[in-house]
Amino acid sequence: MPASRLQAIRDKFWGPIAPDTANNKSTPNNKLDVEEAPQKKANMKSSLSRVSLVSDQSSDRQPEQKFADTKSEPSETRQTRPQTHQEEIRGLQTRIQELERLRKSDQVKFKKEEQLKDVERDSICAKVTQGFEEKRVTEREQDFAQFQTQWNVREQKFNEARHEWEAAKIKLKAKLQKQEQVIRETQEAAFRMGDQAGWTSEPDSVIGDELKRLETLVRDFSKIFAIPAVGQVPLHELLHGKMPEEQDILIKLGWEALAMERRNRMAPWLLLSAWLNRFISSEILVVPFYFMEELLLKITGHDHLRADLCLLDLFHVLDCVHGKDSKEVNTARSELLRLLHPRPVEKPSNNMRLLNDLVPEAEAQALRRLVKLFIKHAAPLFANPKSADMHEKLLKIMEKASHVSLMIGTQRSGLQCDGLTSQPLDFRFTSKEAEAHQLHNGELEDDEEALDGKPILLATQPAIIAIGRSDGSDYSVRRVLKKAIVWMG
């Protein structure tokens, strides 16, 4: 340790050495000091070692201990010590404040570094997450592209199969038409042999297709022109006494099913289509002489009240007398209808020209009468009963029905219209004379027999039945030209 530092430590604890004492130490003539010099030197070394130890532990000692050590100091030294201690305390306080300031500064720096680390960590996590998302999106895009490829392949195969099916269908249809042409030619030859040339009956497939188109027209018409909802008034009260065919269209439970709220908006057009189909079938399809009243009025100039019903009653009486399987009665009806619609000839007579003009006029007039009659009865179900567009559309439907009626009436078969009262109480998918309404397609998609055993509530289309073959042979055959369409709620 340097001498200057030792001197400072010694002065701190024992005070400065008096000048005379120093002179005595340095005087070689002082015998006592010379003799005591080795002893003092040894004491000095031990004191210095003790002072060094004390200086190393001074930071751990209490002020009281330091003060106790200085009791033996000289009075002058003790007087200067308080100032020294205060300076030391102030220095320590300043040092502590500096350290505290540095500590706070370090804390601020540490927080900033932590924030920077958090930001960096979040950035890294975001990049990693973005990478995973991009990878996931890429994988999904690859999966979608693969699925799209598989879908395109399947769609291509489906289109090829559909084209093949359509080609086969066209071939079968052409073959069927050819066979029907052969049948028609054969029948025509047979009729010529019986002096009845010029008329041949249409095949059942053609008549069935025409009846399906007619039913579709009625359904679309009803959806467009029926009222959007019934409201609070029950259907039964709304139509009480205005629907003559009520018993043959729906049962009492049918009213309740239609009145249910979930069917409230569907009920008007469903009931309107059922009523219109029943009206067309009973007034036109199986009554091919619906125009006789107007025709006789044009020919004779006299009003023949409902001559069509009179003629219908006449044939009904003949059926009762000779039986519905009477070839003569059915042939008479067929021939009368054919005579009223003669085939075109090269040189028609004046009377034939007149007949060819009067019959279409009478039919058109009768159809207009039927349109007005139906609108009058079914007015509560029409959104606007006076709509000109609705009248025109309904007239076209009646004209279509008239065309089909002629196709059916010229056959030599017995005709009948079977409504709800002719159907079994419960529905069966295997029924040959009834099919479920298209509203049930969802229920029958997975299980065709899902509705078996459910009560039939409404018949939206009666069955059109022909008894016997079209040429008047084998009246034991029952031909279903159009199945009844029924609704089970």
Taking the CB of residue 409, how many other CB atoms lie within 10 A of it? Answer: 22
Residue in the block written with tokens 């308080």: 82
**Which percentage of the chain shows pLDDT scores above 90?**
3
Return the minimum-mean-pLDDT range out of 45-59, 264-278, 345-359: 45-59
Mean pLDDT, the chain, whole residue set: 75
pLDDT higher than 70, residue 264: no
Distance, CA of 420 to CA of 461 (rounded, Å): 9
pLDDT higher than 80, residue 275: yes
**Which percentage of the chain shows pLDDT scores above 70?**
69
Distance, CA of 222 to CA of 238 (rounded, Å): 17
Half-sphere exposure in the Cβ direction for 426 (13 Å, CA):
7
pLDDT of residue 266: 78
pLDDT higher than 80, residue 100: yes
pLDDT higher than 80, residue 467: yes
pLDDT higher than 60, residue 427: yes
pLDDT of residue 60: 46
Which residue in 256, 258, 255 sits closest to 246, CA to CA? 255
Task: Report the sign of the C-alpha dihedral through residues 462, 400, 216, 208, in that order.
Answer: positive
Half-sphere exposure in the Cβ direction for 394 (13 Å, CA):
30
CA distances from 398 to 31, 187, 224, 392, 394 (A): 163, 29, 17, 10, 6
Contact 487, 267 (CB under 8 A): no
| Full DSSP string of 460-479 | EE-EEEEES-TTS--TT-EE
DSSP lists the bridge partners of residue 487 as 458
pLDDT tens by residue, 123-133: 888 888 888 88
Q: How is residue 74 written in tokens?
A: 């000289």
Mean pLDDT across 336-363: 78
pLDDT-based confidence at residue 263 (cuts at 50, 70, 90): low
pLDDT of residue 5: 62
The domain locations on the chain are 204-487
User: How far is C-alpha 285 from the chain's CA centre?
Assistant: 40
Which residue in 199, 203, 213 sits closest to 399, CA to CA? 213
pTM of the model: 0.58
pLDDT higher than 70, residue 111: yes
When comparing pLDDT for 365 and 11, which is higher? 365
pLDDT higher than 50, residue 226: yes
Contact 307, 450 (CB under 8 A): no
DSSP lists the bridge partners of residue 463 as 418
pLDDT of residue 217: 92
pLDDT-based confidence at residue 397 (cuts at 50, 70, 90): very high
pLDDT higher than 50, residue 87: yes
When comparing pLDDT for 33 and 241, which is higher? 241
pLDDT of residue 394: 92
pLDDT higher than 90, residue 396: yes
When comparing pLDDT for 385 and 250, which is higher? 385
pLDDT-based confidence at residue 196 (cuts at 50, 70, 90): very low
pLDDT of residue 437: 85
pLDDT-based confidence at residue 67 (cuts at 50, 70, 90): very low
pLDDT of residue 483: 87
pLDDT higher than 70, residue 119: yes
Backbone angles phi, psi at 316, to 5 degrees: -65, -40
DSSP lists the bridge partners of residue 479 as 466
Taking the CB of residue 116, how many other CB atoms lie within 10 A of it? Answer: 10
pLDDT higher than 70, residue 209: yes
What is the signed CA dihedral for 215, 219, 221, 224, rounded to 10 degrees? -170
